[in-house]
Amino acid sequence: MVYGYVRVSTKEQHTDRQMEALAAYDIPRKNIFVDRQSGKDFERPAYRSLMRKLRRGDTLIVKSIDRLGRNYDEILLQWRKITKEKEVDIRVIDMPLLNTEDDESGITRVFIADLVLQILAYVAQTEREFIRERQREGIACAKERGVRFGRPERAIPEEFNEVRRLWENVEISGREAARRLDVDLKTFKKWAALDTEEKDVK
């Protein structure tokens, strides 16, 4: 049997291009499984249904490798599960090097496809590390220039002193003080500590 798998990241995205690509292989519509979900993992309803259907000797066709998923480590695990455990062939329309179909040298084709996939995984991982390193360098340079990250600190309101006085006199609780100032308890205590430090300096 021949099966197709289609994935788009959101319900608003169209599957037209992938469906058109699969149309050339005369796959019965009931054998095409469609997910409208992120490719961050393989916990997708249609994909899981597809995996239950696949049997030894079947062929799975996808338009491109990223339609299977975005995480190459997980793609490698799924790839081996499909090709080695289930003994199902995979055809990637946009990258024929990944195709495992070949009657004359099936073992060689699977080996080549595995090798290419591992290279892709290495390149993807290296790129992720480069991106993280560039982000770290960018953040470090920005901090040196005095750029501050995160949400800007909220200015202490005028009524703070009166609320703090009530709190210090145990007339209201810290939570009530924070509620009156429309902040959380942690912020109120931070303001109170800063105010105390300023008084000590003076």
Enumerate the active-site residues: 9
Cβ atoms 40, 10 nearer than 8 A: no
The Cβ-side half-sphere exposure at 45, using a 13 Å CA radius, reads: 4
d(CA 188, CA 198): 15
d(CA 144, CA 64): 43
What Cα–Cα distance (Å) separates residue 27 from each residue in 20, 31, 67, 81, 165?
11, 7, 17, 22, 76
> What DSSP string runs through 68-90?
T-S-HHHHHHHHHIIIIIS--EE
Interhelix angle 185-201/160-168, nearest 10 degrees:
90
